[in-house]
Structure 1
């Protein structure tokens, strides 16, 4: 998958963004544009600034310097237990759509449609506390998708999944992008981001690589210095 044309609509624009904590810089300066329809992977070791970058885009983290112009975003936390609040799968998704200005009847019908579209209907009455890790990750993502954001921000959605669950999550995320949903996905392993059309490498809060998968092969040593293994199919 090639990188989208620079002529496509810009939905997020970050200019010289800096985030500080206790007077210490933890992100930036970051200058980054995201175009409509892109599927971007943010890669970096733990502590490199991935979560801070995504939360800055979402407006969760306050920036100290610079400027961000952003579309409507939906943020999916790394740990789904920090996001799931409904006692059942149905109730959790219903809670997320309460601000869509629908009548109670339309709300219920819409939640039913979402459950069927994303293969969660069989779980609709399940207690969320009894869901597996993979089911919780998917529910937290679908609950955000139901809110119809222009951009989805996923903070390490693979971190709590086993190999089979990772594959299922990749397929699900790919299906969202196939529907023209724009995505930014943070991760620590490149093979989780194989379907991205653009990879951004963070190190010590700064962008040190921004390019296509095809361009990674020419920067193998750069990734190695950041403790990021480059799989054979990226070379």
Structure 2
């Protein structure tokens, strides 16, 4: 699981501690673009020597068999930096989007209003290499109300089910996703989602810095969290 590089909204929050002025689907910042390049170079340089049985920390390489990204621009741009360095397609997978979806926030009314999001023509123009879902047409891919916390947790469970359905043992799957969804998936996997309420859940926080890499191994008996939030590829000044 790879978190996207720094977005304009990440930088806004870091500067102001506020979401006022946020974008519904932000681009990467200059720092984010640098992070994405370092990430792509790191994965590309450490690619072909992967040995899943004797290299649990990927010191010898990654060699993903599949590479997915969400349909949010910051994830597509980060995934593109990887895809440019490796010989596998970048595939859009809608279900791994950030919690909430594509929305704008009305601070006066304290409402979150769902927006359409980019459509097929947008991606064809800006990310022509991206393999898009057949269902995506001229309407935006989101085009629905704001997603609630409960819906996001249900989507994390559905993602894990779809992951098992799509892939065979031995597949090495990379997803370029988002901080909120990353937390939802890990809470679902390790039972934190059964806590009674959101306040109780937030006592257990799972960190994913921009472009961090987290590895999970799935077997019939268990799920292993092999490593979390690794940033070996970034110089200190680019960690956000």
Instruction: Give the TM-score normalised by the residue count of structure 2.
Output: 0.30
Determine which structure has greater relative contact order: mean sequence separation of CA pairs < 8 Å that are 6+ residues apart, divided by chain length: 1
